[in-house]
Each structure stands twice: as C-alpha cells, then as structure tokens.
Amino acid sequence: MVLAKDASDGILQRKTKEFAEHLDDFLTELSESLRSGTYEPDPLLSFGIPKGTSGEVRTLHIPSIRDRVVERAVVNTITHRADLAMSPCSFAYRTGIGTDDAVDHLARLRDTGYRYVLRTDIEDYFPNLSIEDALAILSPIAGCPRTIDLIRLIARPRRARGERRTRNRGISQGSCLSPLLANLALTDVDRAMGDAGYGYARFADDIVICSPHEPDLLEALELLDSLLTPRGLRLNQEKTAMTSFDEGFCYLGTDFSRSFPPVDPRHDIKGRPDPDQVVYVGRDGARVHISQNRLIVDGADGLPQVSIPRRAVSRIVLTGAVGLSSGARSWALYNDIDVIFLSRHGGYLGQLAGPRSTASARRLLTQASFATDDDARLPLARAIVRAKMRHQVSVLHRTGRRSRGSGVETPCTTIRQLAADAEQAADVDELMGLEGAASTAYFSCLSGLVPPEVAFDGRSRRPPKDLANAALSYAYAILLAECTGALLAAGLEPSLGVLHASTDKRPSLSLDLMEEFRPLLVDRTVLSLLRSKRLRPEHATTSPDGEGVWLNSKGKKTLVDGYEATLQRQVKGAMPGFSGTWRRHIHHGAQLLGRAITEPGYEWTGASWR
C-alpha cells in the first residue's frame, strides 16, 4: 500500500525506489529492529501546500518510506479496535463514515426539534493536541503494551529536515497515523458532550452543537471550553457563532435551512438496496402460493394482492393466520428461502430453513464442547455483553435529549461502569445480572427521549404495554429470525448458546448474536420512527383482554419499512475488511462468532457503530 501510494503519480522517489528494489532485505532489517527495540524513526521531510484560497500555507511533515511502512502496519493493526472506542458523533477519518453521514445526522436532529445551532472549531488542533490523550483511550483496548510504546515513539514530536526547532507537542500532519490519533485524542470530549445530551457532531476539529433550547448553547459552549482548556486546546473565537436552522448556515459544504437538506430514510442505500426482496405478509386469511414462476399473495377473499417474480424473493415473513401452500413450502426449502413464522402479536414461532447449512459433525461437536465449558465461553460472553452496552451508549448519544429535564449523563456513566465490571465478571450468571442492570438504565432513559404523546415507561414484554414496546418486540422477533438463519448458514447450531444457556426451548445462540444488533439496528430504528412521528399512537391497538398493546396493520407496515431501510443500508468499516448491507453484516457476524467458538485464540470484538 505504501509503495502504491508513492507511485500514484507515476514516479517513485529515490528512497522508495531503493526500498522497492531490495524489499526483502529492508523488511527483514526493519522487522529485526522492531523486535529488538532498536528502531528509531528518521527525521521528517517538511513542505508546504496551499490552504484554501486565502494564500495561507499548511506545512506537512512526511515520514521516510521506512517509517511509513511501520506506521501503516500499526494503523492496519489497531484501526478497528480504535474505532470501537470512538464516539458515534465523530465523522472524520473513519472507514465508511464521512460528510454525508454528518449531514444526515444534523438533518435528523433538526427534524426532531433541535432548532438552535452552535458552530465552532478548535484553533490549530493538530500542532497542539496531546498524544497522551489519544494513548489513554487506546491503551486499554490495544491488546499489547509494546504497540502503545511503538506508537508513542513514532508519533512523538521530532525534528524535520531543514528546521531548527523541534515541536514540543502535537502530531505531524502528513503521517497516516495522525488522523487516527487526532480522533482518539478528542474521544473523552465527545463522550462528555454526548453525556450532556446535546445534539453533537464533530468532523475532525470542526464542531456543531444543536439543541431545542437556545440557552443550552451557551452552557454547551462553556462545557466544551472547560473540556478543551486542560488539554492545552482552545476554540477559534472567529469561527464560533450561534445560529439556527431557520437562519441557515453552511457546514461541510452543505447549506442547512429549516427544511433542507431533507432527511432521506433510505440514506446510504446505493441504487437498488438488494437484488432480492423480503416479503412480509401479515393479514389474517391471506395465502402465499407459487404460480407461473411468481410468488402470489392472495387476500382473505382469494383475490391476488401481490405478485413477485420468485427469483427476486430472498425470504418470507408470515405474521398471524397466513396460509402457505405446499408448493410454496417445497419451493422455499429447495431454494434455501427462509420462511419466518411470527405470531399475530409479533412473537417468534420458528422458521423453515433449507439445506444450505455448512454444519459438519466435527464443527457441531466443537460447538457443543465450547457451550458446556464455562471457562472457555466466559471471555466471549463478556465481549458480547460489552458490545451491546457500547451500542446502548451510542444510541443515547445519537438521540440526545427531548428536554432539559431528560438527562442521559447518569445512564451513560452507569452503563460504561457496568461494561467495565463485565470485563471482570466471574461467571455468566454475574454477566447476565450486569446486562440486565444496564438495560434497565438504558430503557429508563429512552422513555424520556420519545415524543410526549408516546407512553413509554421502560421495557415491558409478554405482553408489551405501549406502542414503543410493541414495536421493539415485533422488530426483535424479526431480527431473531435473521440471526437464526445466519447461524444455520454459518454451520452453527442455534440452540447451543454462549451467553444464553443452551436449551431446546429457544435459539440461544441466535439471542447471543442479536445482542449487539438490538441497539445497533432495532432500537435506533424504532426511536427514529417515534421521534419523526412516522410511528404514532394510532398505530397501536389494545389487546382484547386489555393487558397488552399490539401494532395494528399500519403500524407493522411502518415498522417493517423502517427496519428494512436500516438493514439495506450499505455499511463499511463496521467489521474489519468487510462491507455490505447490515443484513449481510449479520451473516458475517455469525461467521465471526463461529470463529470465536471453534478457533482458540481468535478474539471476537463485535461491530463498530455505523
């Protein structure tokens, strides 16, 4: 990669050419110096490039080819771990996240009532940031103290050729390691702003804060300044201004107003989201059958309501009293088309799965042995719980607060502490207790972040007591079916759990796989639908016995549309070396879970927020 970038203009630098001609010798020598601890970075090469159209010059400090190889190796090794620690409101220098995502985030905040805006940036950020702030975030997750020592060595201020003075802080602009460290150094600031409940977005050192209440912005400015000052940083006063979406402003090249840019519910869906379709049928008395190479859905009156080429169907979800013909059943089984069965109220009943499973006797025996070995499964169970808690905090940070009285700081702090406790949990029972405590804090906070007309008093199920819980339960059932199908395709037995105890009564491993995807996919979707008022109180109905609340047909359609839009989003960077829709990420997640179960030494980390 380093050689390719150097040659991108068609010319190799002299040192690079020498390196390429004696590549094996150079790499062997470099490896030995790193292993022995004798490696020392070379002086930097300094040159200037124009900064915008103002005539200013930005000075870059470029490492030697030898040092760039080391830096690139470090970046490739730690990027995913570092990304797991970063805020969901940080949008620069991250694989699969960029300006479009920041713009979409701000547009969603605007449409949920965050009218008032504070724009600011950090003055001379790269030359003044502290490397130690970045390493403090990275050290607990890097996995190797020597890696931290190496990063400190190659990132520390050092002399550039032709310059008399050596920097005493900051990082070099021109190093591939610099953007990663720059993001990490502000992670604690991002967390504090998110904990305070502000609508917040940061692109490198360019910051926007939104709030439903204008006085909040002055408090936010004071908080931000108090967080930056001890780090030797300060805000650029000339670029700090309060405005609103009504007045309009420009951020990252986009002009914002009270209605522009519009929120696109299908943000990040490129072209056709998928060559296949998921068919949902939920009207009592409907019947699904095959005729002339098409999937036909008849209504209760026997008249065709939907006709789809069967080659375009990837799965079928049937809710309630819906019939499935023997021909459709045989076609689904023969062609590996999952057919999911849900109760009228959204409970998961089971599914038909074809013969695509790659399970082998050896793999199943290994999985069974792992599931019954408490010592072996505990580290993976810890990682599953910590991943879920990490995403719960991200949901709270991205959602913010509905009013000044809806605080998210205490639940975020509580969940992070419980995640730290989970790392030391002595057994799975203790882990489950910590997970339950985190979920209680999380849902108690969420109940204050939905519109006032939506009753939501925390999580309730069997039966759900309100619209929000009815939507969550229905979407969780669909997600459970997705995860079960993904595990079968990965050659795993869904009933043999890691965090959840193995049993014939439920797909325990499916529940394990879906834990991190609950907040990542379902909770954020339901919250978005509620806060944008696409899912409204009239979409719920009280059960005949008066004990529960269920989604009606319009509510189910609204939820399914939102859920599918989420799962069809194209995502990059959430899992190392993988890109695709969230649905494909679930399948890839099942494969990675299989590796953690069957390959000793493989460390499962979960997905990053995207």
pLDDT confidence of residue 159: 75
All structural domains of the chain, each given as residue ranges with its CATH number in brackets, are 86-160+168-256 (3.30.70.270), 277-359 (3.100.10.20), 364-598 (1.20.120.920)
What is the residue type of 590? A
Q: What are the tens digits of pLDDT across the range 296-314?
A: 999 999 999 999 999 889 8
CA nearest to 97, candidates 266, 268, 252: 268
Asked if residue 451 has a cis previous peptide bond (ω within 30° of 0), the answer is no
pLDDT confidence of residue 9: 45
pLDDT confidence of residue 52: 67
C-beta neighbour count of 17 within 10 angstroms: 15
**18-to-25, 67, 203 alpha-carbon distances in Å:** 11, 14, 38
Cβ atoms of residues 527 and 399 within 8 Å: yes
pLDDT confidence of residue 299: 93
User: Rounded distance, CA 281 to CA 298, Å?
Assistant: 10
Share of the chain above pLDDT 70, in %: 92
Helix (H) or strand (E) holding 467: helix 467-489
User: Rounded distance, CA 372 to CA 392, Å?
Assistant: 29
User: Confidence band (pLDDT; 50, 70, 90) for 43?
Assistant: confident
Which of 210-214, 219-223, 228-232, 459-463 is the least confident region?
459-463
Say what the pTM is.
Answer: 0.87
User: Rounded distance, CA 528 to CA 532, Å?
Assistant: 6
pLDDT confidence of residue 275: 47
Position 462 pLDDT exceeds 90 = no
C-beta neighbour count of 565 within 10 angstroms: 19
User: Confidence band (pLDDT; 50, 70, 90) for 358?
Assistant: low
Q: What are the tens digits of pLDDT across the range 122-173?
A: 999 999 999 999 999 999 988 788 999 999 999 988 877 766 666 678 888 8
User: Confidence band (pLDDT; 50, 70, 90) for 190?
Assistant: very high
Q: What are the tens digits of pLDDT across the range 557-576?
A: 999 999 999 999 999 999 99
pLDDT confidence of residue 142: 84
Q: What average pLDDT does this structure show over 216-237?
A: 96
Half-sphere exposure at residue 302, Cβ-oriented, CA atoms within 13 angstroms: 0
Q: What are the tens digits of pLDDT across the range 477-504?
A: 999 999 999 999 888 999 999 999 999 8
pLDDT confidence of residue 277: 81
Annotate 592-606 with DSSP letters as a single string. Answer: HHHHHHHSTTPPP--
pLDDT confidence of residue 129: 94
- Per the prediction, the chain carries an average pLDDT of 90
Which of 37-51, 227-241, 364-378 is the least confident region?
37-51
User: Confidence band (pLDDT; 50, 70, 90) for 405?
Assistant: low
Burial of 545 (C-beta count, 10 Å sphere; 0-12/13-18/19+): exposed
CA nearest to 297, candidates 281, 313, 315: 281
Cβ atoms of residues 460 and 466 within 8 Å: yes
Position 272 pLDDT exceeds 60 = no
Position 269 pLDDT exceeds 70 = no
pLDDT confidence of residue 168: 72
Burial 290-320 (b: 16+ CB within 10 A, else e): beeebbbbbeeeeeeeeeeebeebebbbbbb
User: Confidence band (pLDDT; 50, 70, 90) for 12?
Assistant: very low
Between residues 403 and 233, which one has the greater pLDDT?
Answer: 233
Half-sphere exposure at residue 5, Cβ-oriented, CA atoms within 13 angstroms: 9
Angle in degrees, CA 415, 421, 426, rounded to 5: 140
